[in-house]
Chains A and B, each alone.
Chain A
Amino acid sequence: MKIYLKALSLHLKSELEYRSSFIISFLSQILVFFSYYFIIIAMFSKFSNIKGFSMYEVLLCFSIIQFGFAFNEVFARGIDKFDDLIVQGNFDRLLLRPKNIIIQVLCSQSDFVKLSRLIQALIVMVIALINLNINWNIYRVFCLIFMIISGIVIFFGIFILAASYCFITVQGLEVRNVFTDGGKQMAQYPIGVFKKGFVYFFTFIIPYAFVNYYPLLYFVGKSNNIIFGFSPLIVLLYLVPCIVVFYLGIRHYNSVGS
């Protein structure tokens, strides 16, 4: 952990060396992110609800998912860009070191420009929370915290899975985007609004529904089932197979040489 923080501060310093470039990229990222929730707001200017969810409920869902995704883009960039490590042969170097391999991959890169998304996601979240009439109690506070954490965890898991894919081939990596960006795009809306087949897929195969649907139902008072409030914890279990797959991949890893 200490090593990771040290690496983070080094990355931050090196990015800030190019200050004007950093600031402009930061601004353009704010615009990119704006275009995401602009779509939602524009749709709600024509429609009053989506399958019974109001605009602020969708925005809350959106902000939790985007927060989780952006968090990983900033702090787990090394896993997102794992193919660079493999293609350049730098992964061999990491394997030689006597430290946990995932921590090392995490240390290899970070992207502080994406902080702009993280901050904006937080702002959207706060705005949504203010405008929703939440019947606050201690369980709902926990529910919200669990949702945010599970949002981070699920994308971490998916990033690790996508990284494991690089052990098989580094060709056609755009397919990964279907699961990372595509999943993010879908999960901006509560999974329950989609057709049944998709809901099952995103409950049992990739458990988005436990991040943004079941807990949301409890949180906004559409359901009184308190188990829904704690359902994001299931996502933590999802991390286990992801990490196992990653280690299996390492065992079969052939260096590309460098």
Chain B
Amino acid sequence: MKAYITYFKLKFITGLQYRSAALAGISTQFFFGFVYIMVYVAFYESGSGSVPMPLSSLITYVWLNQAFFALINQFYKDPELFNLIRSGNISYELSRPKNLYCMWYFKLLGQRLANVTMRFFPLLIITCLLPEPYNFSMPGNMLIFLVFLISMFVGTLLVTAMTVLYPIVMLTTMNEKGIVNIIVVVADLLSGVGIPIVFFPKLLKTISSFLPFQYISDLPFRIYVGNINTINGLYGIIIQFIWLVIIIVIGNLLMNKNIKRVSVQGG
């Protein structure tokens, strides 16, 4: 276990070195958040119809999405792992007396956390100071915030478990495009990064509730803005946790199966 934690720390500290990339990331995220919000503001000002979420909650939701984008997005691709597989250097990894799944898991977790650590705080500070209605608002009470934190923590573990699946699938497909890309797009849409799940048409909302994607970020963010009350939030966290276990088990099974037939091409 100690080895994995050290590996995690190593990746985390390495990740913190890319500060100019983080700065560029923050400004991009800020701009995109602003564009989304202006569209929503225009829609809400046009009135009419029943809205699933008040405007101020929706805006806070958008800012949360942008602030934690580095943590929750599915598009994250680790070129290092893919190169490892393509170049055949994976044989070195396999010869180490450690569980490869755990290694990869902690590696990705460390990178994600490092990326988000540098980004979320400045963005949230700036957006707090924006004039109404564009500002980011504080949670209703401490209890809500606490439930949000727990759910965010499980969500982080969940999204990492999912992204570990991509290089594992690639062990057989040898191509990060293709199947993986398709999964990533679907996952991104259904995790509420583009538009909150509450705005989905009914059918898709139902489908989405049987899939793990909305438990990555949609659940914690909706808890934060008060769109889900704390009791239902706690139920949600239980489901989140079940999905986490399921996906880790799937990942391990796939990994063991794929490693048996992995063929190292030169190297």
Residues of A within 8 A of B (CB): 21, 24-25, 27-28, 31-32, 35, 38-39, 42-43, 45-52, 171-175, 177-178, 182, 185-186, 189, 193-195, 198
A194 to B182, CA, bound (A): 33
Which residues on the B side are within 8 Å of A38 (C-beta)?
189, 194-195
**A174 and B177 contact, Cβ closer than 8 Å, known pairs A32-B185, A45-B201, A47-B49:** no
List residues of chain A with CB within 8 A of the CB of B200: 42
B177 near A50: Cβ-Cβ < 8 Å? no
Taking the closest CB of chain A, its distance from the CB of B129, in whole angstroms, is: 18
Query: Given A28-B182, A35-B188, do A46 and B199 touch, yes or no (CB 8 Å)?
Result: yes
B31 near A182 with CB under 8 A, answer: yes
State the majority secondary structure of interface residues on B. Answer: helix
Q: Check B186 for interface membership: any CB of A closer than 8 A.
A: yes
Interface of A is mostly: helix
Which one of A24, A28, A35, A178 lies within 8 Å of B27 (CB-CB)?
A: A178
Please give, as numbers and ranges, the residues of chain B lying within 8 Å of A24 by CB-CB distance: 177-179, 181-182
Q: Which residues of B lie under 8 Å from residue A193 when comparing CB positions?
A: 39, 42
Contacting residue for B177 out of A21, A43, A173, A195, CB 8 A: A21
A51 in contact with B45 given A28-B177, A32-B185 (CB within 8 Å): yes
| B-side contacts of A171, CB under 8 Å | 20
Decide: B201 and A42 in contact? CB cutoff 8 A: yes
Chain B positions 166 through 188: 1 when the CB is less than 8 Å from some CB of chain A, otherwise 0: 00000000010111011001101
Given contacts A45-B201, A175-B27, contact A194 B177 (CB under 8 A): no
A43 touches B24 (CB 8 A): no
Q: How far is the CA of A193 from the CA of B179 in the complex (A)?
A: 38
A24 to B28, CA, bound (A): 29
What residues of chain B lie closer than 8 Å to A31, measured between beta carbons? 182, 185-186
Q: Do A35 and B189 touch (CB < 8 A)?
A: yes
Interface residues on B, range: 35 or more
Instruction: Enumerate B182-217 residues with CB–CB distance to A below 8 Å.
Output: 182, 185-186, 188-189, 194-195, 199-201
Q: A50–B46 contact, CB under 8 A? A: yes
Q: Complex formed: what's the CA distance from A182 to B201 in Å? A: 26
Interface membership of B141, Cβ < 8 A: no
Q: Is the CB of A178 within 8 A of B28?
A: yes
A115 to chain B, nearest CB (A): 16
**Can you name 12 extra interface pairs (CB under 8 A) apart from A28-B177, A171-B20?**
A21-B175, A32-B185, A35-B185, A35-B189, A46-B199, A48-B46, A172-B24, A174-B28, A175-B24, A175-B27, A178-B31, A186-B38
Known: A32-B185, A186-B35. A43 touches B195 (CB 8 A): yes
Q: Which residues of A contact B25 (CB under 8 A)?
A: 174
In the complex, what residues of A have CB within 8 A of residue B199's CB?
42-43, 45-46
Q: Are A182 and B177 in contact (CB under 8 A)?
A: no
A218 to chain B, nearest CB (A): 21
| B-side contacts of A27, CB under 8 Å | 182
B53 vs chain A, min Cβ distance (A): 10
Shortest Cβ distance from B186 into A: residue: A31
Once the chains bind, are B48 and A21 in contact (CB under 8 Å)?
no
Within 8 Å CB of B178, what residues of A? 21, 24-25, 28
Contact of A50 with B43 in the complex, beta carbons under 8 Å: yes
B51 interface residue (CB < 8 Å to A)? yes
Closest 6 CB pairs of A and B: A24-B178, A28-B181, A193-B42, A172-B24, A174-B24, A35-B189
Give the residues in chain B near A49, CB-CB below 8 Å: 46, 48
Q: A39-B194, A46-B51 are known contacts. Are A189 and B27 too (CB-CB below 8 A)?
A: no
Tell me, in angstroms, the Cα distance from A147 to B29 when the chains sit together.
29
| Smallest beta-carbon distance B118→chain A, Å | 14
